[in-house]
Amino acid sequence: MPASLTASTRVVGVIGDPVRHSLSPLLHNAAFAAMRLDWASVAFPVPAGEVGPALAGMRALGVEGLSVTMPHKQAALAGVDHTSETATRLGAINTIVRRNGQLVGENTDGAGFLDAVHTAGCDPVGWRCLILGAGGAARAIVVALAGAGAAEVVVVNRTPTRAEQAAALAGAVGRVGSADEVDRADLVVHATPLGMLGVSPASRAGEQGPTSDQLPLDPARLGPGQLVVDLVYHPRDTPLLKAARDRGAMVQDGVGMLVHQAAHALAFWTGEKPPVAAMMAAVDSAPRLRA
């Protein structure tokens, strides 16, 4: 954030409910400082059902861009003037930019995931990939991996219909599978809240479910030659990553995707190359993520 806000400071934000925990302002303000831009990022709590008025306010107040988080990614799609091909295909947006008075919706989750994987020195071309989960982030990753040349994208979800819908996004290389196939995968992506501090599937779905210290798969099936990615970033070193590391697999926490998808959003807003290193350093310094 600039040393002092001025009447010419350009504003972006993140909308969600809840949203006070979001790291988006931290990431983007660190980037603006590194780029020496007179921009500032803030959090806007927007209750469910109030996306329309929020986007009207964005237009009226000249807010330059928004990050969109739960529960608004689908509802916001209907409130913008244009969407990218990827966002339309996914039926959800996580980024909005104001251009010439028009609101343009984008989804940067898949691109952010691929950037994080590439940063780890990996390329999913020809890989067999197994995705645990079928929510918004999982679907974005399914599309991204198929587009990046993965040989197979297998979706695992406890709700068969959701698994089928997510797998279909990968076209010919997508199919529904089970966690028992994990030993055949080159890439394993965990895209559910399991393992997140203070959150379990039961608490989110309002039903009986696994506790937060349980694993989404049998760790004995993991081993050398695999990359295991957990999108959970609080804690950064999740039970799944610890188990995968103990078995000799490569691991990557959820911060990589978090930072890179935010960097793509910043590029859409400003038209400039984002300082990814400065954004990563900001997350590394966040006290609540050091655990």
Range of the domain at 222: 110-253
Same domain, yes or no: 36 and 52: yes
Bridge partner residues of 128 (DSSP): 152
Same-domain check for residues 140 and 157: yes
Residue with tokens 């028992």: 180
pLDDT at 286: 79
Token digits of residue 135: 């929510």
Up-side HSE of residue 178: CA atoms within 13 Å toward CB? 2
Domain match, 32 and 86 both: yes
Residues 70 and 138 in one domain: no
Query: What CATH number is associated with residue 16?
Result: 3.40.50.10860
Does residue 5 fall inside a structural domain? no
Q: Are residues 240 and 265 in the same domain?
A: no
Q: Is residue 162 part of a domain?
A: yes
Average confidence (pLDDT) per 10 residues, the chain, 291 residues: 79 94 94 97 96 96 95 94 95 94 96 96 97 94 98 96 97 97 97 68 39 75 96 90 96 96 97 97 78 43
Residue 257 near residue 116, CB atoms below 8 Å: yes
171 and 78 in a common domain: no
Residue 208: CB atoms within 10 Å: 7
CATH number, domain at 221? 3.40.50.720
Active site residues: 73
Q: Are 268 and 97 in contact (CB under 8 A)?
A: yes
Instruction: Say how far apart CA 211 and CA 73 lie, in whole Å.
Output: 26
Number of structural domains in the chain: 2
pLDDT (0 to 100) of residue 200 = 45
Among 137, 117, 140, residue whose Cα is nearest residue 127: 117
Shared domain check, 271 and 239: no
| 73 and 52 part of one domain | yes
Task: Indicate the residue type of 3.
Answer: A
Residues 160 and 42 in one domain: no
Residue 144, domain member (yes or no): yes
Residues 247 and 115 in one domain: yes
Residue 170, in any domain of the structure? yes
Which ranges constitute the DSSP H helices of the chain? Answer: 24-35, 51-61, 85-90, 109-119, 136-147, 160-168, 201-205, 239-246, 255-270, 276-284
Residues whose CB is less than 8 angstroms from the CB of residue 73 and which lie 6 or more positions away in sequence, other chains included: 92, 93, 94, 107, 136
Looking at the structure, tell me whether residues 88 and 207 fall in a common domain: no
**SS3 breakdown of the chain: % helix, strand, coil, rounded to 5?**
40, 20, 40
255-270 vs 276-284: helix axis angle to the nearest 10?
140
Q: Are 130 and 102 in the same domain?
A: no
